[in-house]
Amino acid sequence: MTRKSADGGGGRSTIRDVAARAGVSAATVSRVLGGVYPVSATTRTRVLRAVRDLDYVADARAKAIAGVGTPTLGFVLDDITGPSFALMAHGVEREATRLGHLCLVCSTDGDAEHELAFIETMRAQRAAAVILVGGSADTPEYRARTGRVADALAAAGSRLVLCGRPPLDPGAPVSVVEYDNEGGAYALCAHVLSRGHRRILYLGGKPEHTTAQGRERGYLAAHRARGVEPDPVLRLAGDFTRDSGYRSMRRALEVGLEFTAVMAATDMVAAGALTALHEAGLAVPGDISLVGYDDIPFARDLHPALTTVHVPYEELGRLAVRTALEWGRKRGPEASDEHLLLGTHVVVRDSVGALVTSSAG
Amino acid sequence: MTRKSADGGGGRSTIRDVAARAGVSAATVSRVLGGVYPVSATTRTRVLRAVRDLDYVADARAKAIAGVGTPTLGFVLDDITGPSFALMAHGVEREATRLGHLCLVCSTDGDAEHELAFIETMRAQRAAAVILVGGSADTPEYRARTGRVADALAAAGSRLVLCGRPPLDPGAPVSVVEYDNEGGAYALCAHVLSRGHRRILYLGGKPEHTTAQGRERGYLAAHRARGVEPDPVLRLAGDFTRDSGYRSMRRALEVGLEFTAVMAATDMVAAGALTALHEAGLAVPGDISLVGYDDIPFARDLHPALTTVHVPYEELGRLAVRTALEWGRKRGPEASDEHLLLGTHVVVRDSVGALVTSSAG
DNA sequence: GTGAAAGCGCTAACAC
DNA sequence: GTGTTAGCGCTTTCAC
């Protein structure tokens, strides 16, 4: 048999199989399935019946290549397991499907190589846009290479969007949708400072990570605005996990670091730190104050409820796809590279106490 | 201009553009890009140079249609935002890309209609498999319709896999990879019972949800095995969110339900419940004991650390794709419908106390 | 209204 | 080694 015949239950059937069964041409089948083209009622029913009989579904890839496919959108994130990533991913996915796009995902576990490879794959898939979700390690190579893929994407009529990640070098054809990372950290730290604390332990992330950097800048700036020089000894690197927070806190306690408050780079880190504090018999906020960052749902259920900064993560994801898609629509005579900066705000709960001292700082 | 010419920076270029620029035929370009076909060194370099110049990337959809595409795999979940979903999703994604597959995602927010629609889309995309992640509402219609799409997928050489969701009616062409949901609940509840508790409040999920049902069955079975008849008044429905746990707990307290322990359907629910308990001035486990389910990373950081049941979620996700793909490979003469059942285990932490009574129960 | 034919971007069988 | 040709499954002119 030279030609596969797709009978009822067999392999996938093609438009020609349907055409044959209905006694019409493939073009006619395409037309009735297409919707609005004039077709006689009887032909239409015959075709529809054949479609049902064969359980036919048109091959989306073939349609795409013929120019009428479902647009696709790629998105990349470090690790979907992190609550803030999950929120952004959710926003991206919801908005994309709302706008009739398919979502191709990839998690990179922070591997830049992997990220680049996926972007290339998306280019091959002719994705309408690719969204990079969350911060990344910021190195000159990163900027150069990402700038290059942004160019490639742009040249192919697609678009790179940075979601929750700072812009590349100016001129790079990217859209960026981020939140005021540094500003949030500044406000948060200012709050802690205002309660009298002067030695605030900063439990950070990887030093080269953009998100970690932004938050640290906010921490530093808030101190300086108050005229207090932050002790470098109080800044510890780590990563954004619960375990990292736990370990860092233990270490800090073991080596006898002196501090009255701790500012964790994320709520997850804060959670781990809190447990370490409890285990050491320290009361929060009685002995030590603690703040996080992200306002994940869980933050309320820590004990004490965690003071933190709220970030509109889901909104961020939604905006990223909207921005990307709108750009695609109005692109042409100078659609300027957009840069959205969403606001954050600190949500005060019960984890920071006032530092009572005999003399004001 | 009748033919779009893809010069350096313009639109996406085709294999013919590359061929023209290199002064060879499209077939030759395809061959050098393909890899192993014999091509003269000089031709190869010329072609490669043209590829670089044009920044050419072959259209994956066209390749797919020609029979050499990157296989794709669709996966569906309720809401990526839930920690256990995120874990499974991570497992799925990691394993899929490890095996060279692309991942198309879709979250349904529990909407069965949406789920079905996405499966249909996956069929159109000729996905190698579609994985349904997490439990679902279990109704006769659900079974019938899902069975039908399973058939359709099977007929098209694809595969439906249920990950963390119980099997459909026997005979349906699906693979299922689940964990011992009921068994875990049984063990957990038995543990609480063994500490002397007899009135255990069950904070459940939606009554028709398979996961909620399984856990409730475990709760019930453990009671009966101990010879204690569970009071129906102590079973409250809700959903799997933190807020639901918080609200249910408050209600339970307000209406004066009597209980000495609470078993929450998930750790998230437990987190909310814990906060409500704290707010009511009740000590855990001093006054009331509490257990969760899922063992999400956060569970350790609740105060007290939460006793819960550990589920190998990420592994579940990985196995789901492996099962699906292996099935595709060895399918043919009776590859039986697989059904994997992974074990769970309770992890005892600090949230349940012994109930001291004058007379044993 | 409907069919034949060309074309989307690619690969593979078949020449030379 | 390399070009030509014929598909892959679909849509869309262009005739009739």
Do residue B64 and residue A60 have CB atoms under 8 angstroms apart? no
What average pLDDT does this structure show over B100-127? 96
Interatomic CA–C1' length for residue B27 and nucleotide C14, angstroms: 13
Q: Residue A243: count other Cβ atoms within 10 Å of its Cβ.
A: 15
Check whether B4 has a pLDDT greater than 60. no
Check whether B361 has a pLDDT greater than 60. no
pLDDT along chain A (361 residues), means of 10: 41 92 96 89 96 97 95 96 96 97 96 96 97 96 95 94 95 95 98 98 97 98 98 97 97 98 98 98 98 97 97 98 85 68 98 77 38
Q: Which helix (H) or strand (E) segment is A21 a member of? A: helix A15-22
The 3-state DSSP class for residue A347 equals: strand
Check whether B112 has a pLDDT greater than 70. yes
**Which of B89, B242, B305 has the CB atom closest to A80's CB atom?**
B89
Do residue B12 and residue A89 have CB atoms under 8 angstroms apart? no
Domain boundary assignment for chain B:
15-66, 72-179+313-342, 181-311
Selected residue with higher pLDDT from B91 and B337? B91
User: B-chain residues within 8 Å CB-CB of A90?
Assistant: 79-81, 107
The 3-state DSSP class for residue B247 equals: helix
- Residue-wise pLDDT tens digits, B292-303: 999 999 999 999
Check whether B309 has a pLDDT greater than 80. yes
Is domain B72-179+313-342 given the CATH code 3.30.920.30 in the classification? no
Q: Which residues pair with A175 in a beta bridge?
A: A161
What is the reported pLDDT for A3?
38
Tokens of A46: 């015959």
Check whether B172 has a pLDDT greater than 60. yes
What is the reported pLDDT for B81?
94
Q: Which nucleotide is nearest to B59 (CA to C1')?
A: C9
Q: Is the CB of B24 under 7 A from strand D?
A: yes
Q: pTM of the entire structure?
A: 0.94
Task: Give the number of A-B residue pairs with CB atoms closer than 8 Å.
Answer: 153
Q: Which residue is nearest to nucleotide C11 (CA to C1')?
A: B66
Q: Is the CB of A193 under 7 A from strand D?
A: no
- Residue-wise pLDDT tens digits, B214-242: 999 999 999 999 999 999 999 999 999 99
With the C-alpha atoms ordered B93, B96, B100, B106, is the resulting torsion angle positive or negative?
Answer: negative
Q: Which of B73, B80, B85, B294 to probe by mutation at the A interface, max A CB count within 10 Å?
A: B80
**Identity of the amino acid at B52:** R
Do residue B86 and residue A80 have CB atoms under 8 angstroms apart? yes
Check whether B183 has a pLDDT greater than 80. yes
Tell how strand A102-107 and strand B102-107 pair up.
antiparallel
Selected residue with higher pLDDT from B6 and B284? B284
* Cα distance between residue A65 and residue B63, in whole Å: 10
* Cα distance between residue A74 and residue A85, in whole Å: 15
Q: Residue B227: count other Cβ atoms within 10 Å of its Cβ.
A: 7
Residue that is written with structure tokens 């006032």 in the block: A354
What is the reported pLDDT for A11?
67
Tokens of B328: 């595709």
Check whether B47 has a pLDDT greater than 90. yes
The conformation of residue B28, written as its DSSP 8-state character, comes to H
With the C-alpha atoms ordered B280, B286, B289, B293, is the resulting torsion angle positive or negative?
Answer: positive
Alpha-carbon Rg for chain B in angstroms: 27
Q: Select from A164, A120, A116 the least CA-distant residue to A142.
A: A116
Q: Residue A109: count other Cβ atoms within 10 Å of its Cβ.
A: 11
Do residue B81 and residue A86 have CB atoms under 8 angstroms apart? yes
What is the reported pLDDT for A9?
42
Residue B206: phi, psi to the nearest 5?
-65, 135
State the burial class of residue A90 (Cβ atoms within 10 Å of its Cβ: 0-12, 13-18, 19+). buried
State which residue of chain B sits closest to A120, comparing Cα positions: B57
Tell how strand A345-347 and strand A308-310 pair up.
antiparallel
Tokens of B338: 């697989």
User: A-chain residues within 8 Å CB-CB of B124?
Assistant: 57-60
* Cα distance between residue A317 and residue A165, in whole Å: 12
User: B-chain residues within 8 Å CB-CB of A121?
Assistant: 60, 70, 102
Do residue B106 and residue A121 have CB atoms under 8 angstroms apart? no
Do residue A298 and residue B298 have CB atoms under 8 angstroms apart? yes
**Which of A57, A86, A298 has the CB atom closest to B80's CB atom?**
A86
Q: Give yes or no for a contact between A59 and A29, defined as CB atoms under 8 angstroms apart.
A: no
A15-66 — its CATH code? 1.10.260.40
Same fold, A15-66 and A181-311: no
Nucleotides, chain C, CB distance < 7 Å: 1-5, 7-13
Do residue A278 and residue B125 have CB atoms under 8 angstroms apart? no
* Cα distance between residue A113 and residue A118, in whole Å: 9
* Cα distance between residue B138 and residue B210, in whole Å: 6
What average pLDDT does this structure show over B341-354? 98
Q: Give yes or no for a contact between B182 and B215, defined as CB atoms under 8 angstroms apart.
A: yes
What is the reported pLDDT for A360?
44
What is the reported pLDDT for A4?
41
Q: Which nucleotide is nearest to B2 (CA to C1')?
A: C7
State which residue of chain B sits closest to A86, comparing Cα positions: B81
Q: Identify the CATH class of A181-311.
A: alpha beta
- Assign 3-state DSSP to chain A and report helix, strand, coil percentages, each to 5: 45, 15, 40
State which residue of chain B sits closest to A79, comparing Cα positions: B90
Q: How confident is the model at residue B36 (pLDDT cuts 50, 70, 90)?
A: confident
CA distance B22 to chain A (A): 20
